[in-house]
């Protein structure tokens, strides 16, 4: 698996992991902190926006549009694995393609698809860390959604799946 593909798979895992934690908070009868939902909505919105820019289509969401927990689940399904699949399926020509776009402030830019895909994962990690901080601020234990934790889980799963000699 190449690095970009692995980052994409990590991003799906990390988003799923955070969503499961938010589900646990809600299932306990407590309110998911609105600031945590706002930040996680932003993660998923950004994925939708970048997918749209790469595909040359209009974004279905605004950058800071807020979603409830069910909306986050729906947007996660619509964006996390599709973003990963862009990473899996992109050949070198696609990765080096220059995308022209306008950001949420109206500024025009051009970026390589490879850089956009890398940014999407780094951006999501940054905001997932903010979600963890806000959960802790509200008395909830956050999950560890670090890349190395994902890698450790992959290694443990591989060891368990390996036939014993």
Model pTM score: 0.94
DSSP string, 41-110: HHHHHHHHHHHHHHHT---SS-TT----HHHHHHHHHHHHHHHHHHHHH--HHHHT-EEEEE-TTS-EEE
Ranges of each domain in the chain? 3-156
Annotated binding site: 42, 123, 127
Q: Binding site residues for a divalent metal cation, as ranges?
A: 42, 123, 127
Would you state the pLDDT for residue 165? 56
CATH of domain 3-156: 1.20.120.450
Which pLDDT score, from 0 to 100, does residue 58 have? 94
pLDDT per position as a tens digit, 68-102:
999 999 999 999 999 999 999 999 999 999 999 99
Confidence of residue 59 (pLDDT cuts 50, 70, 90): very high
């Amino acid at each position: 698996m190449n690095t970009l593909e692995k980052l994409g798979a990590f991003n799906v895992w990390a988003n799923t992991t955070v969503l499961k934690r938010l589900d646990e908070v809600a299932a306990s009868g407590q309110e998911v902190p609105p600031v945590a939902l706002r930040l996680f909505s932003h993660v998923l919105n950004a994925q939708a926006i970048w997918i749209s820019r790469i595909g040359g289509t209009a974004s279905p969401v605004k950058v800071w549009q807020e979603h409830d927990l069910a909306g986050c689940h729906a947007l996660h399904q619509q964006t996390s694995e599709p973003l990963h699949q862009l990473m899996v399926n992109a050949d070198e020509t696609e990765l080096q393609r220059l995308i022209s776009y306008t950001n949420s402030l109206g500024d025009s830019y051009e970026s390589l698809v490879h850089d956009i895909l890398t940014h999407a994962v780094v951006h999501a990690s940054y905001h997932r860390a903010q979600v963890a901080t806000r959960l802790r601020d509200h008395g909830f234990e956050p999950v560890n959604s670090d890349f190395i934790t994902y890698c450790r889980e992959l290694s443990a799963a591989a060891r368990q799946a390996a036939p014993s000699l």
